[in-house]
Amino acid sequence: MTKVYFVRHAQSDNTVRDSRSRPLTDEGKNDTRSVAELLKSRNVGFIASSPYIRAIDTVGLYSLWTGLNVNIYEDLRERNAGGWHGDRFFDFIERQWADFDYHIEDGESLREVQERNIQVLIKLLSEHEGENIAVATHGTALSTMLNYYYPRFDFECFKKIVNFMPFVIRLDFEGDMPVDYQIELIIHKEYRN
């Protein structure tokens, strides 16, 4: 059985508009200790991450403690919202959940996000069969992966995890199919757009 610990990043500084370089807040940095302690207690032996700083830094302390590399996978990145900035961001997100192919100019649909994330996950499951691995990711990216395996994970479920930073959910896989899941860590932080 392969156990995958999906780690949604800790609280990030949303005043930094560039998604790729957005850092963790001081609170978020402090919360990475809880992530590191959890991963250590679960004997995680491989770390995969989105290339975004907030995801890398969320598993960085565990990497430091264990000497494990944080392996970057470009396709684990968060959804490109196409430069959307506005007060009605959740209306945009809800529309995307209602139509997985909807996107604005220069942005990605949730289907595109899901497909590239699942391709990486399937590769990781093949290469690390029987291991405990961590995948550092983002709220939307994680939600599309959960939806792939559990289609009832919808917009309402997504809204429930928006304020969980960090959030860790473990999926147990036999081959490339999940057989069980368990929420491992929730730290509530208010989402700020």
**Residue whose pair of structure tokens reads 């990486």 in the numeric block:** 120
> Is the alpha carbon torsion for 26, 75, 67, 184 positive or negative?
positive
Residue 50 within any structural domain of the chain:
yes
Of 170, 166, 193, 167, which is closest to residue 181 (Cα–Cα)? 170
pTM (2 decimals)?
A: 0.95
Domain that holds residue 62: 7-188
pLDDT, tens digit (0-9, with 9 covering 90-100), for 105-132: 888 999 999 999 999 999 999 999 999 9
Give the count of domains, the chain. Answer: 1
Describe the crossing of helices 110-127 and 139-149 by its angle, rounded to 10 degrees. 70
pLDDT, tens digit (0-9, with 9 covering 90-100), for 35-88: 999 999 999 999 999 999 999 999 999 999 999 999 999 999 999 777 665 567
CATH number, residue 182: 3.40.50.1240
Residue 2 within any structural domain of the chain:
no
Residue 110 within any structural domain of the chain:
yes
